[in-house]
Structure 1
Amino acid sequence: MDLKCPTCHTPLERVGTHAHCQVCDVNLELEASCPECHQPLQVLTACGAVDFFCQHGHGLISKKRVEFTLC
């Protein structure tokens, strides 16, 4: 992930569905998007696992393929 903090421009560390800036010590919300249609993904959580589902016909999306953007 190559997202940067909007305040200090330090690379962000992804933690689940959030990003953390170590310099500013803030958590920023991320939006997960489908790599095929670029629409927001539904986040499914169960038993500690996080999965991503595209409601626009692309089904389950691998965590490695999800596109994350700052909200």
Structure 2
Amino acid sequence: MEPLCPACKHELQLTEKGFHCAECGAQYAREARCPDCGQPLEVLKACGAVDYFCQHGHGLISKKRVVFVVA
């Protein structure tokens, strides 16, 4: 399920920079959250790779499992 635009309530599309609403043209930042506890994840970038780490006991989180929310 895609998140909804806070302004017009249409589905947002995930882009490289965040979320975009095709209906009203709004842009929103995205935040990576842990799928297990819902807390924000630390983003680790090295050598072109992006990894996600949960500081609340869940360790490294696969990017396939990361939940992106409107920040």
Query: Normalization by structure 1: what TM-score?
Result: 0.77
State whether residues 17 and 31 of structure 1, in contact with CA within 8 Å, keep that contact through their aligned partners in structure 2: no
1:1-71 aligned within 5 A: 1-16=1-16, 18-71=18-71
State whether residues 12 and 20 of structure 2, in contact with CA within 8 Å, keep that contact through their aligned partners in structure 1: yes
Q: Share of identical aligned residues, percent?
A: 55
Where do 5+ consecutive residues of structure 1 fail to align? Answer: none
Query: Normalization by structure 2: what TM-score?
Result: 0.77
Find the aligned partners of 1:31 and 1:68 in 2 and give their Cα distance.
5
Find the aligned partners of 2:8 and 2:40 in 1 and give their Cα distance.
27
Shift of 1:47: 4.0
What is the one-letter code of the residue matched to 1:34? C
Find the aligned partners of 1:17 and 1:69 in 2 and give their Cα distance.
13
* Cα gap change, 1:47 to 1:27, in 2 (>3 Å): farther
Where do 5+ consecutive residues of structure 2 fail to align? Answer: none
